[in-house]
Amino acid sequence: MTESVTTVDILLWVVLPYVTMAVFVTGLVWRYRYDKFGWTTRSSQIYEGRLIRIASPLFHVGILAVVIGHVIGLLIPEKWTDAANISEDMYHLMAVGIGLAAGACTLIGIALLIYRRRTNGPVFAATTKNDKTMYIFLVAAILLGLLTTLVGSGIVGDGYNYRDTVSPWFRSLFLLQPKPELMAESLPSFQVHAVAGMLVFLIWPFTRLVHAFSAPFGYVFRPYVVYRDRGPHDAGNRAPRRGWEKVG
Amino acid sequence: MRVMAQMAMVMNLDKCIGCHTCSVTCKQAWTNRAGVEYVWFNNVETRPGQGYPRTYEDQEKWQGGWTVKRGKLRLRSGGRLKRLAQIFSNPNLPTLQDYYEPWTYEYDMLLSSPLGDHTPVARPKSLITGKNMKIEWSANWDDDLAGGPELMPQDPILNKIKGEVTDRVKAEFEQAFMFYLPRICEHCLNPACVASCPSGAMYKRSEDGIVLVDQDRCRGWRMCVTGCPYKKVYFNHKTGKAEKCTMCYPRIEVGLPTVCSETCVGRLRYLGLFLYDADKVTEAAATPNEQDLLEAQLDLLLDPEDPAVQEAARRDGIPEDWLEAARKSPVYKLAKVYKVALPLHPEYRTMPMVWYVPPLSPVVDALRDTGNDAEDAGNLFGALEALRIPVEYLAELFTAGDVEPVMASLRTLAAMRSYMRDVNLGREPRPEIPASVGMSEETLYDMYRLLAIAKYEERYVIPKAHAETARDLEELACAVDYSDGTRPVSGPFGEVSGRPVPVAVETFHALKERQTTEVIIPVEAVRVNLRNWDGLGGTDD
């Protein structure tokens, strides 16, 4: 950790993460407030029902497992797993096994989904530029993520313990004491994946990915039939809501 | 007892001529937009037939509505956790093939093609892919039994009553029987669509029971499409949100009937209030025997003349003019007093609130064809018994297969015909005819007035929403007019994004003035849209 931290390191491992967080959070709040109508899964199941039956659950379950894997790998310090008598080898075996399985599900899922999007006429016609851009960022992050799993496990190269560098760097951001030097010394594959990941979060609020934040857990607890009142009344016209309006 | 009011509809199938005016005007008003080309909030089906979407009544396949398992009511498609587990891909969602691929024609070719040897043609173009397409199905492809021998055997109702009975349902021209079934959303008391919605975006309005989708809360999980056994919730494939019949609530709120009712050529629709006991709905829907569901549903409806009911209704905040409307309600009379109106598929356990007076005409026609006096009470009663084909079929539609309530309804209608014929021909009226169906002469005459004379103000008894709260009502749901109706707005987040236009184009007061005015309002003065058009003034575009 004696290497000097360059400006590029500061930009990539301090500025970019904080900008991403700021844009992600404010972007989501802004989008939710001004574009509730556009906040949807934009499902294309009605156009095509067979391929999506396999591809969509494969991708979604896979990506959820990947998310859980990231939370464990990035947030739980090595000290804790050591204290729990889980050896480094044990941990990596588990992480790589589950990680590769989840990653493979995700990748096969999204590959099938993109294939479906491209080859099914109606689905392709309903694909926006926004969607296509999002797919590029998402697929890049997933591919690079799989690469890091391979690199980290030693299947490719000599193996790498990212819990010495990447994870502490990630936590340091949230402790508001960023340690860019940790990330600067990690492997290029991890660095590229981290940047790709941040870019996904950066565009997240402005794509259909927002539907992830609508996971309807409340459904389990609420009564079946929902009644709604007219509620208290505000006399006269309601002021138009803020937000951008279409001109012309 | 918790009294709630429900705006409900009755359709008199005897009068339906299958002209589709209701469907067309509804479409013009509500679904004449990109993304909902295939959506018919109102459609008219020829029965026997497959319906729209194809074979929607086959709940083994589509898993709509409710079932009772171990005495408990649950969604047929599965409990809450199962529904959530299937959220990434709904296994019971109809695809566009089950509806139809909407299309337009290349009209411009007719005008802009260069001079040539051949007459230019306007080829059909898919509204989904924009490519040339072959038209193979639509919302009423099997209209008037078209394609009968091939298509009719797939009618889920015919398949249900298979055997000796269906052998007599003939697709041959001379022996065919058919009638039309106009359908809108049932605005059920126990709506399975609302229960299926993971986001809680669908709701039943507590004031009038109209079931709506909050467009701002819908996240496009499409469970409602599966949940509704009538397949009357549709998925807008451009906005990615659910849409359904709104019972023209902006019109209902100011006392105007729905567009489908207003424009019905046969004047066969009735609109009015039911008062019902909301506390007993779930219990009634869980009635073990399917054939007892009709009775359970009727038991939910409270007598608006009963002082105890009125007292409870006042306590539960139902305004006085609404109670008055409930007492005058044509739908209550037809469903509960005369017992001629029956709900569509009570066995789905959703407690549907669009009721039907079953058609007597197929029976009368068949009788006339045999050379008998088709209006004679004795002949008609006998024919009802003998011509069991339509009755069994009707029973599968309206009473979970129990023939008796359908027979009772048809007998009452037959009695009305015979009795009124004597009156109209100046003969001595025969009180034994109404007595044979357990009615007094006065009641039978009242029913005749309601069904045959069918005055506008007797057909539609619609109390206005209270002005002090009306503004909120209008804004509760979002407008469907997010585009100019031809092309979707392409925002940066997808086809449609940003704020929708508020649904209420006119204000409540402007609409009320229009409705009661004696003069034609100049076009410039008030903006009119079709949804609220009442024939006064014009439209501005």
Contact B242, B250 (CB under 8 A): no
- Parse chain A into domains and list their residue ranges: 7-234
Whether cis (ω within 30° of 0) applies to the bond prior to B463 is no
DSSP state of B429: P
Q: Using a CB-CB distance cutoff of 8 angstroms, which residues of chain A are in contact with residue B478? A: 37
Separation of alpha carbons B93 and B75, rounded Å: 15
Could you tell me if B197 lies within 8 Å of chain A, comparing CB atoms? Answer: yes
Average pLDDT score over residue span B78-82: 92
Q: Determine the pLDDT at residue A1.
A: 46
Six token digits for residue A174? 């949230």
Average pLDDT score over residue span B272-276: 97
H helices then E strands: how many in chain B?
25, 15
Closest residue of A to B99, CA-based?
A46
Question: Who has greater pLDDT, B365 or B271?
Answer: B271
H or E stretch at B314: helix B307-315
pLDDT(B468) > 70: no
pLDDT(B154) > 60: yes
Three-state DSSP at B150 gives: helix
pLDDT(B362) > 90: no
* Neighbour tally for A59: CB within 10 Å: 24
pLDDT(A3) > 90: no
Whether residue A230 and residue B500 make contact (CB cut-off 8 A), yes or no, is no
| Closest Cα in chain B, distance from residue A109 (Å) | 12
Going by pLDDT thresholds of 50, 70 and 90, the confidence category of residue B511 is: low
DSSP state of B110: H
> Strand pairing partners for B66?
B75
Q: Determine the pLDDT at residue B493.
A: 59
Q: What is the largest CA-CA distance in chain A?
A: 71
Going by pLDDT thresholds of 50, 70 and 90, the confidence category of residue B39 is: very high
| Closest Cα in chain A, distance from residue B124 (Å) | 16
Whether cis (ω within 30° of 0) applies to the bond prior to B429 is no
Residues of B (202-221) whose Cβ lies below 8 Å from A? 202-207, 215-221
Could you tell me if B200 lies within 8 Å of chain A, comparing CB atoms? Answer: yes
Q: pLDDT exceeding 70 applies to what percent of chain B?
A: 83
pTM, rounded to two decimals: 0.87
Q: Determine the pLDDT at residue A152.
A: 82
| Closest Cα in chain B, distance from residue A235 (Å) | 8
Separation of alpha carbons B202 and B192, rounded Å: 10
Could you tell me if A79 lies within 8 Å of chain B, comparing CB atoms? Answer: no
| Closest Cα in chain B, distance from residue A192 (Å) | 27
Six token digits for residue B250? 């902006």
Q: How does the average pLDDT of chain A come out, rounded?
A: 88
Q: Please write the tens of the pLDDT for every residue from A55-76.
A: 999 999 999 999 999 999 999 9
Average pLDDT score over residue span B317-332: 96
Find, among B478, B484, B489, B26, the residue nearest to B238 by Cα: B489
Going by pLDDT thresholds of 50, 70 and 90, the confidence category of residue B167 is: low
Average pLDDT score over residue span B62-76: 94
| Closest Cα in chain A, distance from residue B99 (Å) | 10
Separation of alpha carbons A116 and B129, rounded Å: 15
Phi and psi at B275, nearest 5°, equal -100, 135
Three-state DSSP at B126 gives: strand
Q: Determine the pLDDT at residue B540.
A: 43
Separation of alpha carbons B526 and B534, rounded Å: 13
Q: How many C-alpha atoms does A118 have within 13 Å on its Cβ side?
A: 8
Q: Determine the pLDDT at residue A240.
A: 46
Six token digits for residue A16? 């970019």
Q: Which of A3-17, B32-46, B293-307, B454-468 has the lowest mean pLDDT?
A: B454-468
Separation of alpha carbons B289 and B68, rounded Å: 10
Contact A195, A184 (CB under 8 A): no
Whether residue A34 and residue B499 make contact (CB cut-off 8 A), yes or no, is yes
Q: Using a CB-CB distance cutoff of 8 angstroms, which residues of chain B are in contact with residue A41? A: 219-221, 240
Separation of alpha carbons B429 and B537, rounded Å: 47
Cα dihedral A30, A33, A37, A43 sign: positive
In DSSP notation, chain A reads --SPPPHHHHIIIIIHHHHHHHHHHHHHHHHHHH-STT-S----TTT--SHHHHHHHHHHHHHHHHHHHHHHHHHS-HHHHHHTT--HHHHHHHHHHHHHHHHHHHHHHHHHHHHHHHHSHHHHHT--HHHHHHHHHHHHHHHHHHHHHHHHHTSSTT---GGGTHHHHHHHHHTT---HHHHHTS-HHHHHHHHHHHHHHHHGGGSGGGGGGG--GGGGTS-SS-EE---S--SSPPPPP-S-----
Q: Determine the pLDDT at residue B422.
A: 92
Fold of A7-234: Fumarate Reductase Cytochrome B subunit (1.20.950)
Q: Determine the pLDDT at residue B514.
A: 58
- A40, A207, A221, A244: best to mutate for the B interface, most B CBs within 10 A: A40
Could you tell me if B47 lies within 8 Å of chain A, comparing CB atoms? Answer: no
The two beta strands, B354-357 and B3-12, are parallel
**Global ipTM:** 0.87
Which residues, 6+ apart, have CB-to-CB distance to B295 below 8 Å?
A: none
Closest CB to B219 among A40, A52, A246: A40
Find, among B384, B405, B382, B408, the residue nearest to B395 by Cα: B405
Whether residue A41 and residue B219 make contact (CB cut-off 8 A), yes or no, is yes
- A226, A237, A246: best to mutate for the B interface, most B CBs within 10 A: A226
Q: Determine the pLDDT at residue A231.
A: 47
pLDDT(B321) > 90: yes
Q: Determine the pLDDT at residue B506.
A: 44
Contact B215, B276 (CB under 8 A): no
Q: Which of B89-98, B234-243, B305-314, B466-475 has the lowest mean pLDDT?
A: B466-475
pLDDT(B8) > 90: yes
Six token digits for residue A54? 């396999």
Query: Can you tell me which residue has the tokens 């496990």?
Result: A153
Q: Determine the pLDDT at residue B541.
A: 43
Q: Please write the tens of the pLDDT for every residue from B90-126.
A: 999 999 999 999 999 999 999 999 988 989 999 999 9
In DSSP notation, B444-466 reads HHHHHIIIII--HHHHB--PPPP
